[in-house]
């Protein structure tokens, strides 16, 4: 598991106060994350990685792995 993935999983697990580990394929709705939770998760991830996720990208987030993918994309863009 990459450092980014570990950090994203920890944010999701801690924010949603989950007892079990988070898997990349977990659907946010299955983790009982409502639309407000999703927005707050986006803000937490933006703060953690110093990135900005657009509204269009937020609309496509369904699974935990979508957060990790977006972070990777945004971090690559910062390196260029």
CATH of the domain at 23: 1.10.1200.10
pLDDT value of residue 78: 73
Note the pLDDT of residue 79: 66
Closest C-alpha to 69, from 4, 3, 13, 6: 4
Number of domains in the chain: 1
The predicted pLDDT at position 77 comes to: 75
Which residue in this structure is represented by tokens 């977990």?
Answer: 26
Whether 47 is a known active-site residue: answer: no
- Give the range of the structural domain holding residue 39, as residue numbers without chain letter: 3-79
Task: Catalytic residue, from 34, 37, 47, 79: name it.
Answer: 34
As to burial, measured by CB atoms within 10 angstroms (0-12 exposed, 13-18 middle, 19+ buried), residue 45 is buried
Per-residue pLDDT of the chain (80 residues; tens, 9 = 90+): 789 999 999 999 999 999 999 999 999 999 999 999 999 999 999 999 999 999 999 999 999 999 999 999 999 977 65
In this predicted structure, what is the pLDDT of residue 80?
A: 55
């Amino acid at each position: 598991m990459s450092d980014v993935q570990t950090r994203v999983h920890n944010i999701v697990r801690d924010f949603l106060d989950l007892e079990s580990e988070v898997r990349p394929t977990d659907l946010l709705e299955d983790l009982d994350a409502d639309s407000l939770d999703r927005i707050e998760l986006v803000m937490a991830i933006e703060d953690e990685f110093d990135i900005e996720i657009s509204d269009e990208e937020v609309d496509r987030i369904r699974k935990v792995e979508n957060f990790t993918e977006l972070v990777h994309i945004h971090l690559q863009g910062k390196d260029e």
